[in-house]
Structure 1
Amino acid sequence: MPPTPTGQPTPTGQPTPTGPTAPAAPEVFEPARLGPLTLRNRTIKAATFEGMTRGALVSDDLVEFHRRHAAGGVGMTTVAYCAVQPEGRTERNQIWMRPEAVPGLRRLADAVHAEGAAVSAQIGHAGPVANGRSNRLPSLAPVAMFNPQSLRMTRRATVADIERITAAHATAARLAIEAGFDAVEIHLGHHYFASSFLSPRLNRRRDGFGGSLANRAKVARAVARAVRDEVGDRIAVLAKLNMDDGVPGGLWLDESVQVARWLERDGSVDALELTAGSSLLNPMYLFRGDAPVREFAAAFPPPQRLGVRLAGGRFLRAYPYREAFLLESARQFRAALDLPLVLLGGITERATMDRAMAEGFAFVAMARALLREPDLIDRIRAEPATRSLCVHCNKCMPTIFRGTHCVLA
């Protein structure tokens, strides 16, 4: 991004800091601290389910997927998604954290480290987003509700379920350490288990886990606390937090900012990655760009294919894509917190990375652009004017059923 005259509006409309004490913005390609870690730069490969874990274990393809991103220059790559319990998978071939998964995860971590990058495991419980039909286990939610993806009812989570799932996050983090991982990212977004409790749309409980925001935030805070108590400062702990759910009656910015303040005060996380949307009710709110209804329909067997074609447009709503599309909301968190923040959503250019650094974000996270070009980070570092080839068609999304990839690459 070209220099901006001191005190004049930036291209995003935010004033540039003035005066001799204004801190210099960090350089995105310089080493940076993340909790106990030092990353080689401030770029993170965001979690995107890879669809390469048949048998709920690491495959050679998964190792190569993350090795390729590490070789392409990211500071850290994120393995997605590592369920903390078997019923917490969105489908039965996802990894769930157990001793049998550790050798494969260790092999993946070694491959990433050999390329000079760090590796993080996204851990969580899918809650109402879990596919009970695929898992052959009941999905869990704050209250019993219909899951349109599995066409089954979820089961109301008991207090014992909540305690079990909270403890399982700590176990998953310990297993990540055993596998040589450098960080874990706790999934608190997209209407997964903890996020569904945060959402007033989904959480209609009348016990100590429902009603007030303080009650609805108990699961998220307890999970983060359990992980921190388990790992101490041996690895970095991030959390992926919804800024808003993108659905009427869902979690909105004002409440989410307060949850972020509580997490900061608790001292349980080293950074927050800011996200939005609902995998259950409105997934395109996070992705933006074209809605690949036809491609999703083709991924299903004939009985469901027609239904997806006819009704998919109501579930996969298209939102216009623009660079840094979550930045405006994320600024409210940056203004309210001292905690390091990871900016996600439409980060494809060096100018956007520099803008994020100038506005006080500690890291930037990328997903679709790196599916198109795993070496994009190295190319941007070598030539700052490099433009991403990603056209935001989102046709990569349905490929999760057969190995996530860019269909245009």
Structure 2
Amino acid sequence: MTGCPDVLAPARLGPLTLRNRVIKAATFEGMTPGALVSDALIAHHRNVSRGGVGMTTVAYLAVAPEGRTEDGQIWMREAALPGLQRLTDAIHEQGAAASAQIGHAGAVGNQALTGYPALAPSRLVNPLSLKMVHAATRADIGRIRRAHGTAAQMAAAVGFDAIEIHFGHNYFTSSFLSPILNRRRDEYGGSLANRARVARETAQTVRDAVGDRCAVLAKVNMDDGVPGGLRLADSIEFVRLLEQDGALDAVELTVGSSLINPMYLFRGEAPIQEWGEAMSAPVRLGMKVFGRFFLKHYPFRELFLLEQARSVRAAVDMPLILLGGVTDFRSMRVAMREGFQFVAMARALLREPDLINRIGCDTGTPSLCIHCNKCMATIYSGTRCVVTTQPLHTIEAVSPDALH
């Protein structure tokens, strides 16, 4: 490991200098009633920032009201900005940088809850809601692209240091990359170059919106985990295109489809019972019958995305962030040795927000996360580890008027 970067030392990410190379990955917090920042959301990110990460990612900030997966998610608008300013202030007070994950849920959007039609490259039926998803028009594509730029400007104005654009999990942009979801015959469908057009135009729009004020990242699927979906070879070519464009400072590599196969990302136990109990009665029944097909079981192993990510690493020179089974100092060191500039963690920090500080004191510190994935079902009541005995803060929205 000679010459391997020190994961716990300061590092550059675009215009930023982070205190270390550990990023808290975006994990929907379920703490935004009224689509506004709550005290619980602030406490959540303050705790993980105090716990030692270099940067924490706030998820998920929709760029348009129909881009949410449920009506309680924040969408970027004037009413949300005072709370977001208070949130970034709290993160900065603890010495961490703040990243805003922005995006549009597309077909994953729940139109029954948001009141807006869900959008995808082509018409399809959402396998969970069984509702028809509308094919996005050229006007929709342009509107959503511009909305990313506006959302990025808002995020920069309230103190976010980085913007992470969501190009994964078969959300709107990711669905254009997926051959099974994108059956268009215009300039946004067919060849990889066409299917990548939405993402490339969006990345450039965000970069133009924030310039050098913020780092600009993208979360990119390597593999949808769905027959006929995006596969690694096309993903490598896509990342090459992003690198050539020069709009991004780094790419975070991910996998899976929130629409069809979410467990391909999470790995470990499939929380079918817990997920069903968190749903409405009709969905609960469907989960009992079909849950094992939707929440498939993929065994957890350390650095479970490394093999696929290594192929991307070999193809590009731009900074890459390794996600997936990074739980301790040893796995972080392996990532550094393999040529990744940063690592991202999620579930382990739900269990232990102070894990990075403790690793800094003792590099032999193990993670206590058991990868049961029961935290997945808590997104409707405040995302948390259900194994720990720590009480959840009362979730109350912060009124914009109260912040002046």
Question: Which range, TM-score by smaller chain?
Answer: over 0.9
What does the per-residue CA deviation read over 1:361-384, in whole Å, with 9 as the maximum and x for residues that have no partner? 000000000000000011111111
Q: Which runs of 4+ in 1 moved over 3 A?
A: none
Q: Secondary structure at the match of 2:218?
A: strand
CA separation in 2, counterparts of 1:150 and 1:307?
10
1:26 corresponding residue in structure 2: 5
CA separation in 2, counterparts of 1:168 and 1:183?
17
Query: Could you tell me how far 1:300 is from its partner in structure 2?
Result: 1.6
- Determine whether 1:123 maps to 2:102: yes
- Determine whether 1:237 maps to 2:224: no
- Determine whether 1:75 maps to 2:54: yes
2:190 corresponding residue in structure 1: 211
1:54 corresponding residue in structure 2: 33
CA separation in 2, counterparts of 1:68 and 1:59?
14
Query: Could you tell me how far 1:306 is from its partner in structure 2?
Result: 1.7
Query: Could you tell me how far 1:304 is from its partner in structure 2?
Result: 2.5
CA separation in 1, counterparts of 2:127 and 2:71?
17
- Determine whether 1:186 maps to 2:174: no
Note if contact 1:36-1:236 (Cα within 8 Å) is conserved in structure 2. yes
CA separation in 2, counterparts of 1:267 and 1:75?
24
Q: Sequence identity of aligned pairs in percent?
A: 65
Note if contact 1:30-1:41 (Cα within 8 Å) is conserved in structure 2. yes
1:298 corresponding residue in structure 2: 277
- Determine whether 1:253 maps to 2:232: yes
AA matched with 1:108:
L
Query: Could you tell me how far 1:319 is from its partner in structure 2?
Result: 0.1
CA separation in 1, counterparts of 2:30 and 2:301?
27
Note if contact 1:372-1:390 (Cα within 8 Å) is conserved in structure 2. yes
- Determine whether 1:151 maps to 2:118: no
- Determine whether 1:109 maps to 2:81: no
Note if contact 1:348-1:366 (Cα within 8 Å) is conserved in structure 2. yes
Query: 342, 355, 358: which one pairs with 1:363?
Result: 342
Q: Secondary structure at the match of 2:374?
A: coil
1:137 corresponding residue in structure 2: 116
Q: Secondary structure at the match of 1:108?
A: helix
What does the per-residue CA deviation read over 1:292-345, in whole Å, with 9 as the maximum and x for residues that have no partner? 000011112333212111111100001000000000000011111110000000
AA matched with 2:37:
V
AA matched with 2:174:
S
What does the per-residue CA deviation read over 1:140-170, in whole Å, with 9 as the maximum and x for residues that have no partner? 0011110123331111100000000000000
- Determine whether 1:314 maps to 2:293: yes
Root mean square deviation of aligned Cα: 0.8
AA matched with 1:279:
S
What does the per-residue CA deviation read over 1:201-230, in whole Å, with 9 as the maximum and x for residues that have no partner? 100111111100000000000100100011
CA separation in 2, counterparts of 1:266 and 1:301?
44
Query: 241, 249, 261: which one pairs with 1:262?
Result: 241
2:401 corresponding residue in structure 1: none
1:99 corresponding residue in structure 2: 78
1:342 corresponding residue in structure 2: 321
What does the per-residue CA deviation read over 1:26-73, in whole Å, with 9 as the maximum and x for residues that have no partner? 100100000000000000000000000011111110000000000000
Query: Could you tell me how far 1:99 is from its partner in structure 2?
Result: 1.2
CA separation in 2, counterparts of 1:303 and 1:320?
29
Q: Secondary structure at the match of 1:396?
A: helix
Query: Could you tell me how far 1:359 is from its partner in structure 2?
Result: 1.1
- Determine whether 1:333 maps to 2:312: yes
CA separation in 2, counterparts of 1:199 and 1:103?
37
Give structure 2 stretches of 5+ with no counterpart.
389-404
Question: TM-score by structure 2 length?
Answer: 0.95
Q: Secondary structure at the match of 1:237?
A: strand
2:395 corresponding residue in structure 1: none
1:10 corresponding residue in structure 2: none
CA separation in 1, counterparts of 2:62 and 2:277?
27
Note if contact 1:132-1:150 (Cα within 8 Å) is conserved in structure 2. no
Note if contact 1:238-1:269 (Cα within 8 Å) is conserved in structure 2. yes
AA matched with 1:129:
V
Q: Secondary structure at the match of 1:249?
A: coil
What does the per-residue CA deviation read over 1:169-205, in whole Å, with 9 as the maximum and x for residues that have no partner? 0000000011111001000000000000000010011
CA separation in 2, counterparts of 1:194 and 1:119?
23
CA separation in 1, counterparts of 2:280 and 2:116?
22
* Structure 1 segment 12-23 matched on structure 2, within 5 A: none
AA matched with 1:192:
Y
Note if contact 1:191-1:278 (Cα within 8 Å) is conserved in structure 2. yes
Q: Secondary structure at the match of 2:274?
A: helix
Q: Secondary structure at the match of 2:95?
A: coil
- Determine whether 1:172 maps to 2:155: no
AA matched with 1:170:
G
Query: Could you tell me how far 1:100 is from its partner in structure 2?
Result: 1.1
Query: Could you tell me how far 1:25 is from its partner in structure 2?
Result: 1.0
Note if contact 1:40-1:117 (Cα within 8 Å) is conserved in structure 2. yes
* Structure 1 segment 85-96 matched on structure 2, within 5 A: 85-96=64-75
Query: 384, 393, 408: which one pairs with 2:363?
Result: 384
Give structure 1 stretches of 5+ with no counterpart.
4-22
AA matched with 2:14:
G
CA separation in 1, counterparts of 2:33 and 2:25?
21
Q: Which has the higher contact order (CA 8 A, sep 6+)?
A: 2
CA separation in 2, counterparts of 1:194 and 1:54?
26
Aligned length in residues = 388
CA separation in 2, counterparts of 1:292 and 1:195?
25
Query: Could you tell me how far 1:117 is from its partner in structure 2?
Result: 0.2
